[in-house]
Amino acid sequence: GGGLIGIGVGIMLRYEVSTGGTDLLAQFISKAMSVNIGVVIFIIDGLIVTSAFKMLELKAFLFSGLTICMIGIITSIMARPSNR
């Protein structure tokens, strides 16, 4: 699931379109600070899941972390502008 989300978000961000929410916030931060957008998405989503750690079971927390890692990595790869 994280891979598919990463591909979709990455393609959208490559063409400077956003789904809103944390993706839009990450897009603004990435442009303002010249940081890779995949890293910013990873940090924002990671903070959200970490803040809910006590409410989640360990298994759900670990799977959420894995999904967030996949989304961040694949978004970083897919959001790079193509060399034309």
Q: Which two structure tokens, joined as six digits, stand for 77? A: 């790869």
Q: What are the Cα distances from residue 56, in Å, to 22, 44, 47, 62, 68?
A: 20, 18, 14, 10, 15
pLDDT tens digits, the chain, 84 residues: what are they? 889 988 988 888 888 887 888 888 988 998 899 888 889 999 999 999 999 888 989 999 999 999 999 999 998 888 876 555
Q: What is the pTM of this model?
A: 0.81
CB neighbours of residue 65 within 10 Å: 16
pLDDT at site 70: 93
Q: What angle do CA 14, 34, 18 make, to 5 degrees?
A: 35
Strand ranges (DSSP E) for the chain? none
pLDDT at site 79: 82
